[in-house]
A and B are shown apart, each in its own frame.
Chain A
Amino acid sequence: MIFVIAIAIGATIIFGVVAIIFSMKEEKAIKSLVQNEKNQKQRLYEITMLKEVQDRIGYSMDVEKVVDVITGSLDTLLSYSTVSALILENDRFIFQAHVKEGVSKNYLENVKAIMARSFSEMEGTDIPERIEPNISGVALDDLNHSPLASYFNIPLIINDRAVALITVSSTKPDNYTEEEMTTLYKIAAMASETLSRLENILSLEKGKLMAMIGSLADGLFMVDVNGQLTVINDAAKDFLKIPKDNPTTIDLLSALPNTYDFSAKIQRSINHKRVIEEKEVNIDEKVFQIFITPVFDESVTTERKVIGASVLLHDITLEKSVSKMKEDFTNIMVHELRSPLTAIKASSELLMAPPAPLAEEEKNKIIGLISGQSRKMLDEVSLILDAAKLEAGLFTISKLPGDLKKLINERISVFAPQAHERFINLVVDIDPSIPNFKFDPIHIGQVINNLISNSLKFTSSGGTVRIIAKPAIGSVVVSVSDTGAGIPKDKQHLLFSKFTQLGGTQNGVVGTGLGLYIVKGVVEAHDGQVSLESEEGRGTTITFTLPLDAAVKSDAQSQINAAIPQAHKLMN
């Protein structure tokens, strides 16, 4: 009996132990299952969030969006009283708080202070004390005195810059497990890395774009919807005369002319989503054609969202001045051709139907006048033709062996009476050692005519016009100078342009403005060079060189070589 009882007790004990073991194993298995389920849930949450963050970031550097994604689905992972975000956007802080449990205003102030300290510690800058919060969720409850008992901060960092901070907080102490917090940090880290990569790509692309914009001859700047300057190229800075380094919106606004309301036009372009074109706007001394174009955010596919406007400044000053020059030229030509034609018409009418019989001497005088005026007109027409040929690249010269000294003297003799009549000293210094060489006598004669005629035009009585011609190594140098008013520095570059009339002649004579353009063309056709020296109030010297041909060059060189010992002898 005792034996049976012992066996029964033993069996019970064994059964009990086995039951306990099984029960412990079961409990462990359940715990493991629960833990696995929790891990799976966290993992699933992590994957979902990572995908959501990736999708939402797309190609936009919108930090607020990323913060929204992370804070918007926290419920799935953990419990909290508030989740807040401090976002740095365009040098401005935004504070957002989503209140899930009616905490007090003081509680929220504590959260903000913690976040400000954290941000300040990361960036080493002070955070403004007054940042208006943007609060969502349930209403604040000042009767709830529950303190801030647990929290953690998650920074969002883009390429070594903290751009946002998320703070999850609770009134319950020790509310967050390490696993929960780690999951959120990992999501934020992935978002930070994606944003950093995106910023690098955008920065690279922006660099390419800026290089392209920078190389434009047209001025270009862009403003955002708030009128803040975002991009400006060097040409625009030059046109508007604003600082090269980091110009501000204020620099831009103060440089724009008051006569043209840029801000209003830009705003209209943004509001109406259309291009505004201005045909002619004067800024300083220049004339611009202006295009104001709305800029759209291409990443938004549903609706074309305007993100700013670009302003293109196309400098049309030159076109305008060329157009004015052409207009002036036409007027001058009409005048220049009309005057001799009028004289010819009147003279021929007089010859055909004289009011009284004309004496032979009178007839000859009238015929001489007709001939002179016809020659003048022919010269003008030749000038126009030469200018047209030069422009078309069809201008040719016919070089013949000739004596430049003789040609210069001939031309001077034509102008001597005019100089004498106007009490202008004509000083001539022609080196007799200039050899004969090949040049186009007709066109070089025209060049000398033009230069002497111009100098006389701009010299007042009592002044001097000096013509110097001398040999140089491999060339002959001819200069014509006057003691006239001189040419302002800023206009000197225009002197050899077509149609240029700088004005201010001493005798009121108006020319076609083609003279010096043709001088340059003729000399360059001889492979020579034209240069100008001028000082306001002191006069102008125009010098041209004509190269000697090879045979003459060696002859001239030997003459120079022979002259050097003689010169030394004289000096000693």
Chain B
Amino acid sequence: MTDTAINYQQLLTDTLQRQMVILGSTITLAKAKHVNGLSVADDGRVTSIDGNPQKVSIKLLEEFRELSPLMVKKTMKPLLNAILTSYAKPGDTQLVAEQKPETAQQPPAEAPSQDQGEKS
């Protein structure tokens, strides 16, 4: 199991166990069971993630989004933020803007001068 998978496993476990407190275990486990590649124990612990953990996480978010988009925003913030951060590559300004609206975009770095190029 990779580090990423372990992180996601913990994150998903935390998310599901929190959802069990907020919504109750019946609906939480029912929604989790629809997610292909996600194995969950009755106490909400994620026992394994089969496949891309990000995709599995997105699928889980979509399952709960079907219940209520506002509820996902309110109760699943850590998982949402993790997904947004992992997708926010340097060039992905839209996602970065969603995460940090107040951050000014940096101008593109100037091309190195001839001297610098030769030195390097």
Contact = CB atoms under 8 A, between A and B. Distances in A.
Contacts of A117: 21
Nearest to B69: A189
B6 interface: no
B97 interface: no
A186 B26 contact: no
Interface string B19-39: 001111011001100000000
B30 A160 contact: no
B26 A122 contact: no
Interface string B54-97: 00000000000011111101110000000000000000000000
B23 A118 contact: yes
A121 B71 contact: no
B18 interface: yes
Contact of B26 (A114, A118, A181, A185): A181
Nearest to A123: B74
B26 A155 contact: no
Nearest to B74: A157
A221 interface: no
Nearest to A152: B24
A176 B26 contact: yes
A151 B24 contact: yes
Given A121-B18, A178-B30, A182-B66, A153 B71 contact: no
B75 A122 contact: yes
B21 to A, nearest CB: 5
A178 B63 CA distance: 12
- Give the bracket for the number of chain A residues in contact with chain B: 20 to 34
Contacts of A196: 70
A5 B73 CA distance: 73
Contact of A122 (B24, B31, B69, B74): B74
Interface string A138-182: 000000000000111111010010100001000000101010011
Contacts of A181: 26-27, 30
B26 A152 contact: yes
On chain B, which size bracket covers the interface? 10 to 19
A506 B70 CA distance: 79
Given A117-B21, A118-B21, A121-B18, A157 B70 contact: yes
Given A122-B75, A157-B68, A186-B67, A178 B27 contact: yes
A185 B73 CA distance: 15
Given A121-B21, A122-B74, A153-B22, A188 B68 contact: yes
Contacts of B22: 118, 121-122, 153, 155
Contact of B67 (A162, A176, A189): A189
Nearest to A158: B70
Nearest to A189: B68
Contacts, number: 67
Nearest to A154: B23
A192 interface: yes
A88 to B, nearest CB: 14
B74 A155 contact: yes
Given A117-B21, A121-B18, A157 B26 contact: no
B24 A153 contact: yes
A64 interface: no
Contacts of B66: 182, 186
A252 to B, nearest CB: 34
A185 B67 contact: yes
Given A188-B68, A189-B68, A192-B68, A152 B27 contact: yes
A224 interface: no
Contacts of A121: 18, 21-22, 75
A114 B27 CA distance: 15
A380 interface: no
A300 B30 CA distance: 43
Contacts of B70: 157, 160, 189, 192-193, 196
Nearest to A121: B21
Nearest to A165: B22
A185 B27 contact: yes
Contacts of B27: 152, 178, 181, 185
A153 B18 CA distance: 13
A157 B21 contact: no
Given A153-B24, A160-B74, A185 B18 contact: no
A428 B16 CA distance: 95
Q: B69, B74, B75: which has the most chain A beta carbons within 10 Å?
A: B74
Contacts of A189: 67-71
A114 B67 CA distance: 20
A157 B30 CA distance: 22
Contacts of A193: 69-70
Nearest to B73: A160
Contacts of B21: 117-118, 121
Nearest to B18: A121
B23 to A, nearest CB: 5
A304 to B, nearest CB: 35
A114 to B, nearest CB: 8
Contact of B68 (A114, A118, A122, A185): A185
B26 A150 contact: yes
B30 A155 contact: no
Contacts of A182: 66-67
B67 A157 contact: no
A291 to B, nearest CB: 42
A35 B74 CA distance: 34
Interface string A118-133: 1001100000000000
A196 B24 CA distance: 24
Interface of B: 18, 21-24, 26-27, 30-31, 66-71, 73-75
Given A157-B68, A157-B74, 7 more contacts: A152-B23, A153-B23, A153-B24, A160-B74, A182-B67, A186-B68, A192-B68
13 contacts: A118-B21, A122-B22, A122-B74, A151-B24, A152-B24, A155-B68, A160-B74, A178-B27, A178-B31, A181-B26, A181-B27, A182-B66, A189-B67
Interface of A: 114, 117-118, 121-122, 150-155, 157, 160, 162, 167, 174, 176, 178, 181-182, 185-186, 188-189, 192-193, 196
Shortest 3 CB-CB distances between A and B: which pairs?
Answer: A189-B68, A185-B67, A152-B24
